[in-house]
Amino acid sequence: MAVARAADEVVVQARQVAADLLEASLDDVVFDPAERRFHVAGTPAVAREWSEVAAAAQERGTSLGAEVDYVGSSPTFPFGAHIAVVEVDTETGMVAVQRVVAVDDAGRILNPLLAEGQVHGGLAQGVAQALLEEVRYDEDGNPVTSNLADYAFISAAELPSFETVHMETPTPINELGAKGIGESGTIGSTPAVQNAVIDALAHLGVEHIDMPASPERVWRAIQAADGSGGARPGAGGSP
């Protein structure tokens, strides 16, 4: 919103310069955002480009610029729903993510490519939190996961191709109707994957596993629930 309002202010300044260049009344000068040109209403053939307007402003010793601070009147409320399907190897406790479906609302989407990228990155981080990432300490409080040789992190090899659905529910809080999407992927994917692991092991009597659901923790949970130490094939699950 700060960028949008600042841009509007710059257009107002530029229209005044363009009016002088076109020798027209300010009220008659319009800005065509598609063509990125200023012209007199009803006469689009005679126009001035942004570069011409900016150069004219500079010649006058002025610049086209604006500084805007934006504070929303209230928070916006995006929403979403994530589903995960996993397979669990009950012999080793290894969890393989087979499918992740993410439905996210961010109000009006201004840049579809960036929105998709935000969701993808968030999903990967959320899956990593559910299955891999953990900061551990020894008995004296010293970190034992101090580098990437000890701290597990996700890679493309552990992730499926994400399935995303973008919802657009414009907010009335701002003129753009935009909300936020920066953390949406991380919020839903972590519980979705964690719940899928529990669901896959429910038939063995497993009801809870602390995050991250590492192979060791999953294997121990299976042994504790089964009692006999025998493991049966796990099933896919979803929250």
Options 35, 91, 163, 183, the catalytic residue: 183
CA distance 54 to 37: 12
Q: What residues are paired with 40 via a beta bridge? A: 29, 43
CA distance 11 to 18: 10
CA distance 116 to 102: 11
CA distance 200 to 197: 5
Q: Does residue 183 carry a catalytic annotation?
A: yes
User: CA 79 → CA 70, 82, 180, 181, 187, distances in Å?
Assistant: 23, 10, 10, 10, 10
Residue 50 · residue 14 · CB < 8 Å: yes
CA distance 155 to 148: 13
The residues annotated with a catalytic role in the active site are: 183
